[in-house]
Amino acid sequence: AARAVGLLFMVLLDLTALVGNAAVVGVIARTPALRKFVFVFHLCLVDLVAALTLMPLEMLVGSALGGSPGLCRVYLFLLVCLSSVCILSISTLSLERYYSVVHPLRYEVHMTPSLATGVLAAVWLKAVATSVVPVLGWLSPERPPAQGCSLQWSPGAPCKVFVVFLAAFYFALPLLVIVVTYCGMFRVARVAAAHHGPLPTWLETPPGRRRSASLSGSRSPAETPEEGRGAAVPRTTPHRTPGAGGKAAAVPLAVGGQFLLCWLPFFSFQLYAALGGAARGVALGGGPAETVVTWLGFCCFTSNPFFYGCLNRQIRAELGRLLATLLKQPPEEGLRLPSREGSIQENFLQFLQSTGRPPEPSPGTPRRDLPP
């Protein structure tokens, strides 16, 4: 019964990854306006390849049909390669978002197609070079003959060094990059709100001081001249609701939490098994515990299209139009979410971009009366 439930969970996770990543990849490929999201496209494409090859192969290796050494080496190569590319792509996407928000002018100048291609090529070269190591380890004569299909190919020093390197450069360092970049964007949002006034759309406003949900249409509380006189009203600090900073901090917490929940059990288990598990009676390879933590890591392939694709307002709108077309409905009746229920990440980035815009004139205000 436990094996049947586990297999059902694996199949559902694989199918969800296939549908989600294929939807995001397809809508970006068929929409010219969305092709600027090249790193999101690459991440979901890698996840789609993992859902087509790595996840079914893990089910096969874990069954009685997966006893072939050649099949095990192919599985280990794909496991390290696709997982490494996925993690490095998430780090690259975080850095790209950081520079687009914190240094927009520098980003527009330096982010060219050739640079994006070079970055993605470097990601793949590093991942392929890393994934060759466990394959060569399984070909070494020191490997025990009854060893299971696992990254722990031997209790020797080379295996321990490789696992430590894998945890440091493909978990600890990417996690640090994600936390630093999203916290930097949060600080920029807080400073921009203090200087310019408009609140992000995911924060609530008291009933007596409602503002428009659209940031582009909200007016900044800058100095405006009184009617009939040239006196200026002093600039006031906008009202902040209690807990506003905590709601905005949900962005780095959500992204970092998703990465931690998926990959922390996997790398913790590998480190424990390599450094001290053999002395405490932990099997080096192929046990049920390793299967559980491996599939927790594979949850990243399933959740990435939601966190980095569907939560993007533009991608979500195109997905809604595509869904409406498939269901033979008018585009206006497609999937549309209110601005208050929209993407926290997308609202976060749009809030940063909107704080630097001058306030729009109201319909009855002459343009000459506006402040510079």
pLDDT at residue 301 in the model: 94
Rounded to two decimals, the pTM is: 0.73
pLDDT at residue 68 in the model: 74
Asked whether the predicted pLDDT for residue 268 surpasses 50, the reply is yes
Least confident stretch, 115-119, 167-171, 223-227, 286-290: 223-227
Tokens matching residue 139:
């070909």
Distance of alpha carbon 183 from alpha carbon 187, whole angstroms: 6
Q: Kindly report the average pLDDT of the chain as a whole number.
A: 75
In order of 21, 89, 123, 223, 256, the CA distances from 92 in angstroms are 18, 5, 9, 41, 14
Per-residue pLDDT tens digits for 139-187? 766 665 556 678 887 777 888 899 999 999 999 999 999 989 988 888 8
Ranked by mean pLDDT, the top range of 121-130, 215-224, 252-261 is 121-130
Q: Is 9 exposed, middle or buried (0-12, 13-18, 19+ CB in 10 A)?
A: exposed
DSSP 82-107: HHHHHHHHHHHHHHHHHHHHHSHHHH
Angle at 85 between CA 83 and CA 90, to 5 degrees: 95
CB 25 within 8 A of CB 34: no
Per-residue pLDDT tens digits for 194-240? 765 554 433 333 444 434 433 344 443 434 334 444 444 444 444 44
Among 76, 79, 87, which Cα is nearest to 172's? 87
Asked whether the predicted pLDDT for residue 48 surpasses 90, the reply is yes
pLDDT at residue 371 in the model: 55
Alpha carbon dihedral 174, 182, 18, 312, in 10-degree steps, equals -160
**Which domains, and CATH codes, for the chain?**
1-195+247-327 (1.20.1070.10)
DSSP 203-270: S---GGG---S-GGGPPP----BPTTS--BPPP-PPP--TTHHHHHTHHHHHHHHHHHHHHHHHHHHH
